[in-house]
Structure 1
Amino acid sequence: KKEPKKEEKKEVKKPEEKKEAPKPEEKKEVKKPEEKKEAPKPEEKKEVKKAEVKQVAFNKKCPVSGKDVDLAKLFAINFCCGNCLGDFTKDPTKHIAKVKEPDNKKCPISGKDIDASKQFVIGFCCGNCLGDFTKDPSKHIAKVQQ
């Protein structure tokens, strides 16, 4: 009579072990969606970095004095397209008067809204050189292109 009772106890223990096995599987399923959520975040950061790099490109030397550029004296002119940027660099005197402030909202050549990816930044060592450049940009534009 004692032997059948022991068998019954063993049967009770076996179903408990089976119940524990599915629990770790459930935890694995929870981890998989977390990994998927983390993957898109680095891609978004890479896109932001690319945009920042395009906007900080500028000349290293002042086109008027030849001194090192002061980063606080950057002068940005925005264009709607590469063609207008080319026209400006060929004859900047013709178009510089249309630029009222460094971060213009309209292209000085076509008058269209600017495309931020087509930004042209010129660095100056001081405000005096910025003034000299805006008075006669064709005299100094070749130095910017070097």
Structure 2
Amino acid sequence: MKEDIKHLSNDLLFNPSFVKPCTINKLSESNLEVIKPYIAPSFCYDNAITSARLVNAENIVYGAVRVKLNNEWHSIEHCWIRLNGIDYDPTYEVILKEHQKSQIDYFSLFSVETNDFDTLTKQIGHALGAVAGLDFHWFRKAPKFEQYFIN
């Protein structure tokens, strides 16, 4: 795990002091059916905020995954939800259900309360915040979140 955190720090400029390994669980079939029509490949930020609102998740979690593809590990910024204190990944659960699953390890960096999302997007200057998820670009530029990243 320490080696993965080192890669995330080097590859994505995450502050290793805030990176934490986490476990992702499978959504209930009822929640999966609710969100499935709204999940789009490569839009984890939008998928997370939409899913959080649809299933009343309390948090949107920002972090990364370490994915093993063709025997090589890759660091990818990623976003998922926290519902009743348990983490779920609506994007990969829907998308990978239809494809071969690669080895994926999850690491959280910080979370944002779903109820505070719209206010936060206005504070950090993302005009589409009410309809589109915030990617790391916006957080990297916001003074409130700068401690999570290496400059």
Q: Normalized against structure 2, the TM-score is what?
A: 0.23
The structure with the largest alpha-carbon Rg is 1
- Greater percentage in strand: 2
Q: Normalized against structure 1, the TM-score is what?
A: 0.24
- Greater percentage in helix: 1
